[in-house]
Amino acid sequence: MKSYDVVVIGGGPGGYVAAIRCAQLGLNTACVESWLNDENQPVLGGTCLNVGCIPSKALLDSSHHLSFIKHEAKQHGINVPGVSMDVHRMIDRKKNIVQTLTTGIAGLLKKNKIEWLKGHGRLLSTSEIEVSPVGEDKDEPYQVTTKHVIIATGSVPMSIPSAQVDNELIVDSTGALAFTDVPKRLGVIGAGVIGLELGSVWNRLGSEVVVLEAMEEFLAPVDRQLAAEAEKLLRKQG
């Protein structure tokens, strides 16, 4: 049974950064991560890198270029009649960006001599962890021991009983990052950062977007002046 000074459960931005810092301080470190990409291959980066911050910014960047050409380029004397978006190519670009960065994180762990345990971690005690391997090379669960544990397992979208995700009519943020056609109409439940980012992407590409928010304030966690400005700009965009 292998033993470590620190085992980090979770290979997202919280987990892999913590693992790297522990290794830099001279601790024998392992990082447990079970995320699988579309090819059923284990990858690091967690929600943020695989289906969150990074892919949403990639799509925002692409849709911003289209929006600029359609609405602002004429002011610069640039005329582009009949401009359109190849959604499949946009999604492929997003996938390539994600793949490049997940590969980079794996390289960082290797460089810092951190062992990546590709599987799902479960605490058996304060010093023993069971790892259930994932992916094509899935094997029997095994145990490792550790002096310290860092739990960095991230979060998942809230479940709404009246709007259960079926990945057809109703999708979560992951599904909204992978549309291959522009929805004619799109309802976004939640006026938070992720919902507004994805609403912006598909609105720029032609969707009629309606945002539903239960709270009194728009972008509730954000500074009020910034939130008000964001609401004004998004309403102007439609």
pLDDT digits (tens, 9 = 90+) for 44-72: 999 999 998 899 999 999 999 999 999 99
Please report, for residues 16, 96, 129, 144, 201, the alpha-carbon distance to residue 29 in angstroms, rounded to integers and kept in the order given.
Answer: 11, 29, 13, 12, 39
3-state secondary structure of 113: coil
pLDDT of the residue at 157: 78
Give yes or no for residue 138 having a pLDDT over 80: no
Q: Is the model more confident about 52 or about 145?
A: 145
pTM for the predicted model, two decimal places: 0.87
233 phi, psi to nearest 5 deg:
-70, -40
How far apart (Å, rounded) are the C-alpha atoms in residues 163 and 180? 22
pLDDT in tens, 148-198: 999 999 888 788 899 899 988 999 989 999 999 999 999 999 898 889 999
pLDDT of the residue at 34: 95
For 195-230, give one letter per residue: b (16+ CB within 10 A) or e: bbbbbbbbbbbebebebebeeeebbeeeeeeebeeb
Q: Percentage of the chain with pLDDT > 70?
A: 100
Please name the residues in contact with 5: beta carbons below 8 A apart, sequence gap of 6 or more: 22, 27, 28, 29, 146, 147, 148
Mean pLDDT across the stretch 123-141?
Answer: 90
Q: Contact 183/168 with Cβ under 8 angstroms?
A: no
Half-sphere exposure for 122 (CA within 13 Å, toward CB):
9
Transcribe 137-168 into DSSP letters. T----EEEEEEEEEE-----PPP-TTS---SS
If pLDDT is split at 50, 70 and 90, which confidence band does 135 have? confident
For 96-134, give one letter per residue: b (16+ CB within 10 A) or e: ebbbebbeebbeebeeeebbbbbbbbeeeeeebbebebb
